[in-house]
Amino acid sequence: MKPFFRGLTFIICCICLNANGQNTHVLTGYDNYFDPDTLYVEPGDTVEFISVGYHSATEIDSIDWENNVANHNGGFYAGFGAPTTDMKFVIDNTGTFYFICVPHAAMGMKGIIISQINVGINDVLQKNVYGINAFSQNLNVQYAKSDELVIIDISGKTLISIPLNIEEEQKKVPFSSLAPGTYIGHFKLKGETIKAIKFIVH
């Protein structure tokens, strides 16, 4: 094969691998809410923000998120009031990213983006079998292929680590130590987060 064609083949392969490894997710701002308000992505994925009205998706710190305060922290900013007209941004790292709509911050229009590495169980994740619900001083937990549930608060502080039986699909956990508020449960397998769920304790 001639050098030119070898080089062209290499470039095409790289483009195909890049296209297959990254996804674009749509985040929409409606009346006073985001759809979805919790978005799961992988590092390198693109988020396209669609505003139906005067809305923004503005990254803020967790404390401002809890208090409905629109203080841009220098991260992504798309939509109303943004310094650019670009409505797409890339999430490069793993972690939890908090965002709010600047015009409707006081009304609680906010959401989170959870970026996590896919560990090869897409078929399980697509079935939407993960859930955490607070009832009568207990957490009713539904899961699959997980050996640990780690509960963190919105500041990122780890509060509880609960062992799970990988062969089971549900567990009831007392939560008297959790005050009313918003939490994120990380379902883990061998130390790696495979699914994160936002839940509220009233």
**What CATH number did the domain enclosing 43 receive?**
2.60.40.420
Q: How many CB atoms lie within 10 A of CB 25?
A: 16
What is the domain range of residue 193? 122-201
Other CB atoms within 10 Å distance of the CB of residue 148: 18
**Domain end marker among 52, 87, 115:** 115
Q: Is residue 16 part of a domain?
A: no
Task: Single out the residue in 115, 136, 151 at which a domain terminates.
Answer: 115
In a domain, 9, yes or no: no
More confident residue, 187 or 60: 60
Residue 128's pLDDT is 60
Q: How many domains does the chain have?
A: 2
Per the CB < 8 A criterion, the answer to whether 150 and 188 are in contact is: yes
Q: Give a three-class secondary structure readout of 76-104.
A: EEEECCCCCCCCEEEECCCEEEEEECCCC
Are both 130 and 84 inside the same structural domain? no
Are residues 90 and 129 both part of a single domain?
no
Residues 131 and 182 in one domain: yes
Look up the pTM and report it: 0.61
Residues 78 and 141 occupy one common structural domain = no
Asked which of 71, 95, 115 is the last residue of a domain, the reply is: 115
Kindly state the helix (H) or strand (E) to which residue 64 belongs, with its residue range: helix 62-66
Whether 30 and 102 share a structural domain: yes
Angle at CA of residue 15, ends 23 and 94, nearest 5° = 40
Q: Residue 167: inside a domain, yes or no?
A: yes
pLDDT of 113 higher than 70 = yes
Q: How confident is the model at residue 197 (pLDDT cuts 50, 70, 90)?
A: confident
Share of the chain above pLDDT 90, in %: 37
Q: Are residues 109 and 144 in the same domain?
A: no
Query: Quick check: is 99 in a domain?
Result: yes
Contact in structure between 184 and 154 (CB atoms under 8 Å): yes
Note the pLDDT of residue 97: 95
Q: Are residues 88 and 167 in the same domain?
A: no
- Distance spanning both ends of the chain, measured CA to CA: 67
Q: How far apart are CA 81 and CA 104, in angstroms?
A: 12
CATH number at residue 181: 2.60.40.3080
DSSP structural state of residue 116: -
Give domain status of residue 69, yes or no: yes
Q: Calculate mean pLDDT across residues 74-95.
A: 94
Phi, psi of 10 (to 5 degrees): -60, -45
Find the mean pLDDT for residues 71-82: 96
Rounded to an integer, what distance in angstroms lies between the CA atom of residue 127 and that of residue 67? 33
CA distance 137 to 93: 35
How do residues 156-187 score in pLDDT, each as one tens digit?
Answer: 788 989 999 988 888 988 877 788 888 888 88
143 in any annotated domain: yes
At which residue do the structure tokens 């001639």 appear? 2
pLDDT value at 19 more than 60:
no
Query: Is residue 72 domain-shared with residue 126, that is, in the same domain?
Result: no
Residue 8, in any domain of the structure? no
Instruction: With beta carbons less than 8 A apart as the criterion, state whether 137 and 168 touch.
Output: no
Q: How far is CA 132 from the centre of its chain?
A: 15
Residues 56 and 71 in one domain: yes
Residue 60 belongs to some domain of the structure: yes
Do 43 and 73 reside in the same domain of the chain? Answer: yes
Q: Look at 100 and 35; give whichever has higher pLDDT.
A: 100
